[in-house]
């Protein structure tokens, strides 16, 4: 378990918005590809609302072990693992030998993960635009993180907003 780390991956607007009406707001195939390739082969741990926001034909997310966190003891979803605590979900993924389980949101689960110091690396896609929304990425203290990688993506015909993929490692 020594060579493992728990990571978080999110796409965040300039004003901190990550979602609206239990849905994503922007369509950025370049970022979706980054999300898919980064998380493939790993455990992806998500809140119940995030899971239900994924269109049925895309869930569970393929080639990943999907874990849903809910307080509902009767909850079930085909081909997913269900946990009632985020810590238990993370421990399960690590005990299964995953060297990089991913917390994939939404807002409540990001908040829980950061306030409990579960996260060692964050992959944040900064979308260079502000949006109206109802779900936000938690405020975090940038002094506690090293920005270890930055990749700027200009807007193009498929990705109408410019975005920067930044990797932050916990100091």
Ligand X SMILES: NC(=O)c1ccc[n+]([C@@H]2O[C@H](COP(=O)([O-])OP(=O)(O)OC[C@H]3O[C@@H](n4cnc5c(N)ncnc54)[C@H](OP(=O)(O)O)[C@@H]3O)[C@@H](O)[C@H]2O)c1
Instruction: List the one residue from 6, 8, 24, 93 that touches ligand X (CB under 6 A).
Output: 24
Answer for the pair 163, 126: CB distance below 8 angstroms, yes or no: yes
Residues 6 or more apart in contact with residue 76 via CB below 8 angstroms = 82
Tell me how far apart the terminal alpha carbons of the chain are, to the nearest angstrom: 19
Interface positions, 30-69, toward ligand X (CB under 6 A): 46-50, 53, 69
| Paired sense of beta strands 102-103 and 43-47, if any | parallel
For residue 23, state whether it binds ligand X (rule: CB under 6 A): yes
Measured CA to CA, the distance from residue 13 to residue 47 in angstroms comes to: 20
Interface positions, 86-125, toward ligand X (CB under 6 A): 104-109, 112
> What minimum distance in Å lies between the beta carbon of 71 and ligand X?
3
Tell me which residues touch ligand X (CB under 6 A).
10-11, 18-19, 22-24, 46-50, 53, 69-72, 75, 84-85, 104-109, 112, 135
């Amino acid at each position: 378990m020594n060579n493992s780390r728990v990571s978080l991956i999110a796409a965040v607007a300039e004003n901190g918005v990550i979602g609206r009406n239990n849905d994503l707001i922007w369509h950025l195939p370049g970022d979706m590809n980054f999300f898919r390739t980064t998380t493939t082969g790993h455990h992806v741990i998500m809140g119940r609302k995030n899971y239900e926001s994924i269109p049925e034909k895309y869930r569970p997310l393929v080639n990943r072990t999907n874990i849903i966190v809910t307080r509902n003891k009767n909850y079930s979803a085909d081909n997913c693992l269900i946990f009632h605590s985020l810590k238990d979900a993370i421990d399960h993924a690590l005990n299964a030998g995953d060297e990089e389980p991913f917390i994939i949101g939404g807002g409540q689960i990001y908040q829980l993960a950061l306030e409990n110091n579960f996260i060692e690396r964050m992959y944040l896609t900064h979308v260079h635009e502000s949006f109206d929304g109802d779900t936000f990425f938690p405020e975090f203290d940038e002094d506690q993180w090293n920005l270890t990688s930055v990749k700027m993506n200009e807007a193009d015909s498929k990705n109408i907003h410019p975005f920067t993929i930044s990797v932050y490692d916990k100091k």
